[in-house]
Structure 1
Amino acid sequence: MSRTGISEIGPDGYGLHMSIPFDLWGQRGWANTEVAGETHYAKEIRGLLGKDFKASGSEISVTAQLMPEPQNKHDRNAVGVWSGGRQLGYLPREEAARYSPVLTALTAQGWLPQVGARVWGSEWSDYDERQASFRGSVQLDLAEPHMLVPANMPPAGDYRLLPTGNAIQVTGEEKHLDTLAPLLRPEGECWAYTTVHEVVEQPTRTSRSIVEVRIDGGRVGQLTPKMSSELLPAIRHLAEQCIHTAARAVVKGNRIKTEVVLYAARAHELPESWLRTAVPATPATASSAPASGEPSPGLDVASAASRTHGAIPPPPTGIRFAVPPDWPQPPPGWMPPTGWRPDPSWPAAPEQWQWWVPTWD
């Protein structure tokens, strides 16, 4: 998106507000994908570093948005990198060609793809010291294109996604190859939503609780008793609120050997903020990107809007979207994309508000 494009999606209240931030999956906690064109955006990078910038070198971690630019006259696959309302550069041309399809599909459904980023800059003076020169660089925490979004839909009903944590091996997958088969990919791996459930086994005279792992409602394995004990307190905590516990997982292999690995924080690793805000996630449809869940700011925004306004009903034919009083006016003909939620800062819609009216009104 050009500089003009990014300014067009903010002032009317329906650009960035109507795009739900989506934390791309597969982030590992370190940034190693270089951004191109930083020299053309030195002023913006320097501004992002703020007043604490040190000429000898400063580094900050930020959240960066990836904005496809299909109308870019130089490269229709161009992907701009933004943060704090500033453009910082672009994905390199070869990388943009690989990433543009999945990022474009996300933005077309009203999502705003974002990742963690490392921003660095330094400044030095010319020999005559009449003018200082700035050098900046930006790196992204970006997984391979096929690992940016989960391969399946979010769980049905109210659920909460555990924060990402270290790998937890699932056992017994060999008994459930038919359930796992739809998730097998040519790349050999994919991310998937799982749900984790407490079940009681009675192998001997005494019973014990273990964690059963399911994908799309079907059992795909379980955790060992020791690893089960690491997740059971969180599962029980959410169960008391009638909320399912979900976790990210990598499914990899082929039709004769498949394994599932959870990436979920253990109970003792859960931050207090997560425990205080144990509210249901907002499921998305298969045609849109699934909501990313904790610790995604996007889920916080969507959940807050859901609690304030409620879900927007789907439109019938021959209608238009009716904007409640005191909401920003959208562009002519605008319709809420799948999964869209009002910005939580907007006033609540009047009780029993008629969201859809005939086009001839």
Structure 2
Amino acid sequence: MPEQQAKEFISRMMTEIHKQVIGQQQPLQMIVAALLAEGHVLLEDVPGTGKTTLAKALSQTFQADFHRVQATPDLLPQDLLGGMIYRPQTGEFELRKGPIFTQFLLFDEINRSTPRTASALLEAMAEGQVSIDGSTLTLPKPFFVIATQNPLESQGVFPLPEAQLDRFLVKVKLGYPTLEEERQILQRFRTGTQPEQPQPVITPELLAGIRQQCKKVLLTPDVQNYLLHIVRATREEQTFLIGASPRAALSLMALSQSLAWMDGRDFVIPDDIKHSVVPVFAHRVVLTPDRRARGETEESALLELLERITVPSELAITP
């Protein structure tokens, strides 16, 4: 797809989403990039910041089946996956598919569910299939998950295990709106104006074609070495107890390629990698206890690490 068409496509998608969502331009860009990179998204922030609204608006721009699951502590794995039920009329067992059998799944407040239920997503997110009563069933394609979670300081939440977190390509924080954005939100609700519904602009076939184009975005040897130096630094420096895994490195490459494509380029530049590091790594790496005791976070430590790694010259990043 030519550069101008790529930008027009992303612009149309963002325009439709902004019929429901005010602001959040940067988080939206990262979420769309994750969709194009064939990854899943974890949205984290305090309740009431519009996580669910954003996810639903994105799903409406996508011509695909959509299901929403509200997590609670008593939600069971079979409530998500489904199971075999007995039909007295026929004397046979019949599969009742759960809400996971969809193309776009919104799992709301995932960390309010028990670890057993949250782990039911592992196979689905990693392999696009689920196992029910000894049978393996393939999920529809594409299969895209947006899960929202409340901060760990909130009441009644369970921390997600590392294996579960690793299945999310990115973790995105929305943050609070700006003063002007919050004024627009108040105005919309004060007047009772119903926002327009986003219209579908992307089909599964179009998405599959774009994903293939993103995979073809070039990483020159110097840019690839820059990416690998960042990955290895998380493992070798004393800042992190757990560094980035090979899967994290692949995720960083895929997201960088998607961001480059969205910007209308067929090659990755260091800025694409820089913008991807925190969303891809922050939920995968673990700080050492002494660093955490100083008040540092994974995000701040990663940004500090980026400052110490030499960026390739412009001549080395262009094909």
TM-score past 0.5 threshold: no
Query: Of the two structures, which has the highest relative contact order with CA contacts closer than 8 Å and spacing of 6 or more?
Result: 2
What TM-score do you get using the length of structure 1 for normalisation? Answer: 0.26
